Each structure stands twice: as C-alpha cells, then as structure tokens.
Structure 1
Amino acid sequence: MAGNSFNITSHISGGKVISGVVSGGQIIQGDYHNYANLSEPKTKSTEEKVDCYPLNTDPKGHMLIIANEKYQNGNHNPGALVDRKKVETLGETLNYDVESSHKNLTSEQIRQELKNFVEKLETEPHVDSAIVFVLSHGTADAIIGTDGVGVKRQEFFDAFKPDKCGALTGKPKLIFFDACRGHKCDPGAAIKEKSAGQQERAADSETDGPYTPDERAAALAKSEIEKAVDETATQEKVAETKGSRPSSPAPQFSAMSDMLIVDATAMDYYAYGTKSGSYFIDAVYEIFKLKYETKSIDEMLHMVHEHVLKKMHGGKMGDGTYALEGTNYSSSLRKKFMFCPPTTD
C-alpha cells in the first residue's frame, strides 16, 4: 500500500471481519458489517470498559529476532544487523526477554530457531505474550535464508497454533516482517476525491473496477489469516471422519486467534533500507520507544505508517524514479493490546 497517506487494516473479531482504508484513526472506505460505531469518539465510560490483554509476567514475554544481512550469493541485506540491535534495545525497554536473537541463518537454521523458540515458550515459566521480528530478504509468501532458500511465512504462523504452542493459547503473538514482498517500486499517488456522481455509481455497482494495489494488499492481508483458519478446520473435519478426534469441549479459540501480523510493505512491493537500517524498523523503534506506555498497538502502527511515509517523501532511487513504502497489517487479536495496560482497580 505504499505511497498513499493511509493504512490498510484487516481485523477479525468475534467471528466478523472488518477491513478498509484507515486515515487518522477513521475508517473512510471498507466493509463495516456491524461495526459502524468504530469511528465515533470514545466517551470516558467506554474507555473504562476496554478489555486489554493482561501482561503481568516478568518479563512480559519472549522475543525472537532473525536478522539476515550476509547472503551466500552476494545479494546482501545491508543494515539488517543495525536493525537487529535496535530491536534488541526496544525489547529490553518493553521488558521482553531478547536472548533468542540470531543473525545470518540459512533456511533450515531459521526453522530450527523457530522450533527452539516455541520450546522455550512451552518449557520455561510461562509468559503473557511473544514477539517475532524477521529482518531479511523475502518474496510474496516466503522469507529467504542466507542460502537463498525460502521459508514460507505460513510456517511462522503455524508454529504458534494451539497444538504447537499451547502456552500462548488465548495470548497475543505479534509477528513483524521487514522483508520485500515483490519487485515493484511504489511511486506514490495522491488521494483523489470522488464526485457525488462517481460515489453513487460506485454504490450501485457490485464491483468498482479491478483491485488497486492497496485493495489487493488489504484482501491478501485478510485472507492470510482466514486461509490458515480454513485449513485447520478442514484438517479437523478429516480427523473427525476418521474417528481420531478426541472427545473434548468445544474449543474457545481458533487456530490463528490472538495474532498480529505486521509487514513493512504491501504485497508485490519492495521494502527499503540503508546501511544504517530500514525505514520500517527505525519507525517502529522510535514510535514504540516514545509511546508504548500510553498508546495501543493499533495507534502506534498508524504512527509508524505515517512516519515511514514522511521519512521517504521525495526519496529518489538510483534509476531516477521516486518510491515510497507503506506498512500494513492483519489482526485476529480479540482484545486491545497495550504494552502497559491500565489497571482494572
């Protein structure tokens, strides 16, 4: 979604999906379903009733960091180790254990460290959350190891499903990808207001032309979680048919519940950086460090998006073209996430 001063979000909550374009905290385009009051100002009484995830453990959670800078084929990722240090420092500020921090891993080493991290969550004293940062080369659906071989993004999500990581069932899992998702440069575009006639025609039409890159990014972000949920439901149905499903109460959480997936860039586009680090990680570091005590994760991610756009404004590439980068995320968080949730007293 790079280039426009808005953010695409896709949220799954209570079995209903809401997705659309968000600007300044207001949904200005999208499918509202039964959430029409989301853009209304919150009253004091509403704020007091907000249900936040509790983060009562010390540390609040464990953090996995994978930073790939040196590649065997010479296609290096400069700045990744600078970003790794920033993320480690941020994790310590947020009171997260950052001992699971690794650099320059092959595809199999990535899989192994992901497995080790889940075992850590399962065997050490339980914590209330987990965060993963992946700083690497990537494609639309994979993270590239230093050997040039991809690890599917889905493998990261699968690792935290209840059957693999029961210790975090019902608890927040935040996954940040700072990696390219394609080979396009986003030149940026201005938001154009539709005339009344255009708005009326769009409302009467089932489809308003083909997907724009931003609309496609929103659809893909939403479907990434939905696809994983559907796959799990299919597996459970097969198991039930074979008679191998154990007798137990109905599950309270879906396979992909309580997960936030954040990308530095939209589908099909480059993620940018320099020898001193990426624009995305720099924004996360600066915004989270200043705002984590008072702002929710959604509020901070909106700030991150704007920060990156302003940082790259007018950024001229080597071939003389201009490019922007816009973050996007998908969420199945059931509650509000704050690193310092208000007390319930």
Structure 2
Amino acid sequence: NRSFSKASGPTQYIFHEEDMNFVDAPTISRVFDEKTMYRNFSSPRGMCLIINNEHFEQMPTRNGTKADKDNLTNLFRCMGYTVICKDNLTGRGMLLTIRDFAKHESHGDSAILVILSHGEENVIIGVDDIPISTHEIYDLLNAANAPRLANKPKIVFVQASRGERRDNGFPVLDSVDGVPAFLRRGWDNRDGPLFNFLGCVRPQVQQVWRKKPSQADILIAYATTAQYVSWRNSARGSWFIQAVCEVFSTHAKDMDVVELLTEVNKKVACGFQTSQGSNILKQMPEMTSRLLKKFYFWPEARNSAV
C-alpha cells in the first residue's frame, strides 16, 4: 500500500481555467525589479514537461496519478506554459526525454519539469522498475548540459516516495478556530511597491567575465522528506499535487515560488491525513532552492500581454 491513501476519496476533481486568479500586465510591469527578480514575461512563459508513470512491471499501479497529470496540465497551461506529457517511461526513457527537453530550442523565460512516479531515497523508478539517480536527472538541467536554460529558473516538482518510513505526526494544541491569527493575516503590503533597498543607480562599469555555478537557478519541490512515503488518493490524486494546484491557482499572481511552496507545505501538513489501523499518518513536503532571485509565475489572462 506504499504511496497510496487507503481513504476512499470523493469524485475526481479536475482543475479548470475559471479556477485561476490572473494578474494584469500593468501590475507586472509596475512591480518587476531586474536586480531581485527573474524575468518571466515570454509568451509562452516556457515549456513544461510532465512525466507520468502509472503502470509498472512489478511495482503497484499508481492509481490517481491521471488526476495529478490532468490537473497539472491545466494549471501550467493557464499559467502560460506549453505542456508536454509523457506517460509510462522506463528509467532510460526518462533520462532521454529530460535530456531532449533540456536542449529544446523553444524554451522561454523559465522551464518546468514534473515527475510523477514511484521513488526511493535519491532515485526515481521507471516503469521497468529501473531506478534512476535524481542527481543525474537534475544535472541534465544545469547550465553545462542545457545552455539554452542558462540563467533561467528551472522548477522541478517530484511526486514520488523517497523511502518507506511513515510519519506518525505529533500532538499540538491548536488555536480556537484551527488557524493561528498570524497565518490568517497573510503578508502585509503585498500589493505595494517593491523597493530597491540599495537606493542607488547602478554605475556604468566595464563588462568583465566572471563565473557562476552551473548548478544555479534550479528549485526542486519534493512531495515528502527524505526516507518517507508520499500519499495519493485514488480519485483526487496525490496530496502534494492537490495542494500545489489549489495554492498556485489562488496565489501565483502575487507570491513568488518560495512563498507558494511554503503555503503548499502548510496545506499538506495541516490539511491532509490518512490512517493505518489506529495510526493517523501525516506528510511533510520539502523544497531545495538554488535560485538566486525571486521567481514569479505571473499568470496573465489570455488577452493581456506585457
């Protein structure tokens, strides 16, 4: 029963465009700061590759993963990405597909990679039950192997277990209405101007060559922490992807990706649980960021352009 929620869920929910909160072009132009934010204006914003592994030779079928794929496809299309879906890839097939994606000639200002599969610690498992190192996968996206993506943000979502451990959670004394006041308030002045804290004009200087780490500009969002399972409902899909779609559709217009994923962490940690006998089981997502600036998706309505 690894990586699968026993609880029978409601009817499958699929994300649609009317669920998306958009931002207008003048707002993007007003808040954008080249020194602190990545550019993400291209139309399309970039390419999104979704690898969806459902049927394996020996391992259990990943029931509910089609809901994840459909929801993410609609979400990233609404956010302006060209979405490519590949189903049931072997270990080698995943590597070749990601390599070709990384070298594609049609990349925009950013790139998205989503992997929906079985996994263990530091590996993703192909439908032939062959494990592939996550480090090998991420290296395909670095500036050395994907020069067209150099200096551009690459966001990776990994919906897979990372081990066999199960999180039993711990008891907490909650606030009266279940959500502390400081979490309800959100962020102050979110719609206000973004200031340059240096307060000075960049001087004209001679350009010189410098080095930058080839591993920079990548963020990896994991469904769960190392060594732990992740959970999936057979109708609604995985907890993590459900939370991503809900949070991103609501807040991608004004939150950067780190803020968004922090909200996803909270939603999965506080809003989902399943049971194994008398045990209540929980899940904690995790992100690893190598970004050097803030990254905003800035989903625009189709009739709006920067």
- TM-score under structure 2 length normalisation: 0.72
The answer on 1:260 being equivalent to 2:230 is: no
Name which of 42, 49, 53 aligns with 2:38.
Answer: 53
- Whether contact under 8 Å (1:81, 1:103) holds in the other structure is no
Question: Which residue number corresponds to residue 268 of structure 2?
Answer: 308
Letter in 2 for 1:272: W
Aligned residue pairs: how many? 236
Identity of aligned residues (%): 29
Gaps of 5+ in 2: 1-30, 174-207, 300-305
Letter in 2 for 1:81: K
Letter in 2 for 1:271: S
Question: Which residue number corresponds to residue 321 of structure 1?
Answer: 279
Name which of 91, 95, 102 aligns with 1:107.
Answer: 91
- Whether contact under 8 Å (2:59, 2:129) holds in the other structure is no
What secondary structure does 1:133 align onto?
Answer: strand
The root-mean-square deviation of aligned C-alpha atoms, in Å, is 2.3
Structure 1 residues 250-292: Cα deviation after superposition (integer angstroms, max 9, x where no partner): 5432011011011000011000001120000000011101111
Q: CA deviation at 1:151?
A: 1.1
The answer on 1:284 being equivalent to 2:244 is: yes
What secondary structure does 2:281 align onto?
Answer: coil
The answer on 1:151 being equivalent to 2:132 is: yes
Quick one: structure 1 residues 257 and 48, their matched pair in 2 at CA, closer, same or farther if it must change by over 3 Å? closer
Q: CA deviation at 1:114?
A: 0.9
- Whether contact under 8 Å (2:157, 2:220) holds in the other structure is yes
Question: Which residue number corresponds to residue 54 of structure 2?
Answer: 69
Q: CA deviation at 1:298?
A: 1.3
Q: CA deviation at 1:185?
A: 0.6
Q: CA deviation at 1:48?
A: 7.2
Structure 1 residues 217-237: Cα deviation after superposition (integer angstroms, max 9, x where no partner): xxxxxxxxxxxxxxxxxxxxx
Structure that is richer in helix per residue:
1
Name which of 138, 155, 165 aligns with 1:174.
Answer: 155
Structure 1 residues 125-150: Cα deviation after superposition (integer angstroms, max 9, x where no partner): x4111011101100001000011111
- Whether contact under 8 Å (2:169, 2:282) holds in the other structure is yes
What secondary structure does 2:68 align onto?
Answer: helix
Letter in 2 for 1:75: P
What secondary structure does 1:157 align onto?
Answer: helix
Gaps of 5+ in 1: 1-45, 193-248
The answer on 1:335 being equivalent to 2:293 is: yes
- TM-score under structure 1 length normalisation: 0.64
Name which of 122, 130, 140 aligns with 1:141.
Answer: 122
Quick one: structure 1 residues 49 and 69, their matched pair in 2 at CA, closer, same or farther if it must change by over 3 Å? closer
Letter in 1 for 2:283: E
Q: CA deviation at 1:339?
A: 1.0
Structure 1 residues 15-51: Cα deviation after superposition (integer angstroms, max 9, x where no partner): xxxxxxxxxxxxxxxxxxxxxxxxxxxxxxx997971
What secondary structure does 1:316 align onto?
Answer: strand
Quick one: structure 1 residues 333 and 176, their matched pair in 2 at CA, closer, same or farther if it must change by over 3 Å? same
- Whether contact under 8 Å (2:103, 2:147) holds in the other structure is no
Quick one: structure 1 residues 166 and 70, their matched pair in 2 at CA, closer, same or farther if it must change by over 3 Å? same
Quick one: structure 1 residues 127 and 73, their matched pair in 2 at CA, closer, same or farther if it must change by over 3 Å? same
Q: CA deviation at 1:191?
A: 6.5
Report the Cα distance in structure 2 between the residues aligned to 1:56 and 1:74, rounded to whole angstroms. 41
What secondary structure does 1:76 align onto?
Answer: coil
- Whether contact under 8 Å (1:260, 1:331) holds in the other structure is yes
Name which of 105, 116, 120 aligns with 2:100.
Answer: 116
Report the Cα distance in structure 1 between the residues aligned to 2:99 and 2:32, rounded to whole angstroms. 39
